[in-house]
Amino acid sequence: MSTGIRRINVEEAVLDLRCRTLAGIPGELGRLIYLAATRDYNTGQYHHEGLASQFTEEVARGALALCHEEVFNRLALSSLEQLVEELDRYVVSTRERPEDLLTAWATLEPYRVAIPMDSAPLAAKLFTSNLGVAVAVLLARQAAGPDSQQSA
C-alpha cells in the first residue's frame, strides 16, 4: 500500500474514531483515559477491535496514536481551572464515590500511565503536576462540604 493511500486511511480512521467513539465519551479526560486503555501495557501498542476490522491493524494503531496525542496536548495546555472542571466531569461520569476516586488518584497517580509514549517530557511533567493540583483542589472542596462544590 502506498504512503499516500495509507495516510488517507489514517485520516479516515481518525475521523471515524472521533465521530463514532470519542464523541460519546464526556470530557477530554475521559477520552484520554479511554485512548490510553487501548494500549497494551507490555508493548505500548494500540489496539481497537472495531477500528482494526474496518481499516487495518496498522491504520487503526496510527489513528489511535494520533487521537491520543491530540487529546493529551489539549489537556496539557489547558488552564488549571479547565483541568479541575474536566476532572470533576470525569469523576461524575464514573459514578464512583468522589472521595474514594480522588483519594485513590492522589495516592496512586494513575493518570501518569495515560500519557502518550511520544509526548514531550516537559508537557508530560506539566500535565502530571497540574492534575495532581487539580485532584488536591477537588479533595479540599469535598472536605469543605457541599456549599463549596462550586469553584471559588
Partner 1 sequence: MMHVFFWLFLGFLLLILLVLWSHHSFQDSPTAERLDQVQDALTTLHLAVPLRALAERIFALDDRTFVARQGSQKIHHRFLAERRKLALTWLRHTRAKVREVMQLYRVSAGRSAHLRLGVEFALATQYAVFLMVHTVLHFMIWLRGPFATRQVVGYACGLAERLVLEAGPWVVETDGSRLEPLAGDWAKS
For the beta carbon of residue 110, count every other beta carbon within 10 angstroms: 12
Q: How far is the CB of 129 from partner 1 (least distance, A)?
A: 5
Q: How many CA atoms lie within 13 A of 72 on its CB side?
A: 28
Q: Which residues, listed in sequence order, are joined to residue 39 by a DSSP beta bridge? A: 46
On whether the CB atoms of residues 67 and 59 are closer than 8 A, the answer is no
For residues 25 and 126, which CB has a smaller minimum distance to partner 1 in the complex?
126
In the region spanning residues 56 to 115, those forming contacts with partner 1, defined by CB under 8 A, are 76-77, 79-81, 84
On whether the CB atoms of residues 6 and 15 are closer than 8 A, the answer is no
Residue whose entry in the numeric block shows the C-alpha cell 509526548: 119
Under rule CB under 8 A, residue 133 binds partner 1? yes
Q: How far is the CB of 51 from partner 1 (least distance, A)?
A: 26
Of 34, 69, 98, 123, the one binding partner 1 (CB under 8 A) is: 123
* Residues at the interface with partner 1 (CB under 8 A): 76-77, 79-81, 84, 120-123, 125-126, 129-130, 132-133, 136-137, 140, 151-152
